[in-house]
Structure 1
Amino acid sequence: MSRVCELTGKAVLTGNTVSHANNKSRRRYLPNLVNVTLMSDALGQSFKLRVSAYGLRSVEHRGGLDAFLAKADESELSDRARVLKRKIADKQSAAVAA
């Protein structure tokens, strides 16, 4: 399983650990990923996603999963999240048309 947030696209970064003597050794900065279940109001279903803590705060700040995905850029989303975004958009457009 890759270490990438499904909603924000946050991934592993690399850098150096620098000692007091200025010795440098390579290290990895891992995102704080959490397995969460998020509820979609439009679909009436819950979905299990692997999201960073930052991404979870962003979802809550924007008012839920549906609102987050509506504003999210598709290039940052995982394949599962893209499919979910399209399903929610179709459901909402059908509700507006009816």
Structure 2
Amino acid sequence: MSRRCELTGKAVLSGNRVSHSNRKTRRRFLPNLVNVTLTSDVLKRSVKLRVSANALKTVDHRGGLDAFLLKAHTEELSPKAAELKRAVAKASVAVAA
């Protein structure tokens, strides 16, 4: 399981740990990932995803998982989330028609 957010694509970054004496050693900045179950209103089912805490706030701000997925770029999404985006788009067109 990679350390990558399935919705925003946030991943591990690297940088320097700088001591008081200004000595630099390499370190890793890990994303704050949490396992969550989000509900899709259009598909009427729950989906388990591994997302960053920041992405969780963004999903809430945009009005739910469906709204987030429809606005997100497909390149940033994981294969699982991209498939979910296609299903939501298809179902929302069917509901609108």
What TM-score comes out, normalization by structure 1 length?
A: 0.98
Pairwise CA RMSD of aligned residues? Answer: 0.4
Q: Which amino acid aligns with 1:64?
A: G
Structure 1 portions without partners, runs of 5+: none
Aligned residue runs from structure 1 range 74-85, under 5 A:
74-85=74-85
Aligned residue runs from structure 1 range 1-98, under 5 A:
1-97=1-97
SS at match of 2:25: strand
Q: Which amino acid aligns with 2:88?
A: I
SS at match of 1:17: strand
What TM-score comes out, normalization by structure 2 length?
A: 0.99
* Overall identity of the aligned pairs, in %: 66
Counterparts of 1:24 and 1:96 in 2: how far apart (Å)? 57
The C-alpha deviation readout for 1:22-53, integer Å capped at 9, x for no partner, is 11000000000000000000000000000000
Counterparts of 1:43 and 1:74 in 2: how far apart (Å)? 19
Once the two structures are TM-superposed, the CA of residue 95 in structure 1 deviates from its matched residue by 1.1
Q: Which amino acid aligns with 1:9?
A: G
What stretches of structure 1 move > 6 A for 4+ residues in a row? none
Structure 2 portions without partners, runs of 5+: none
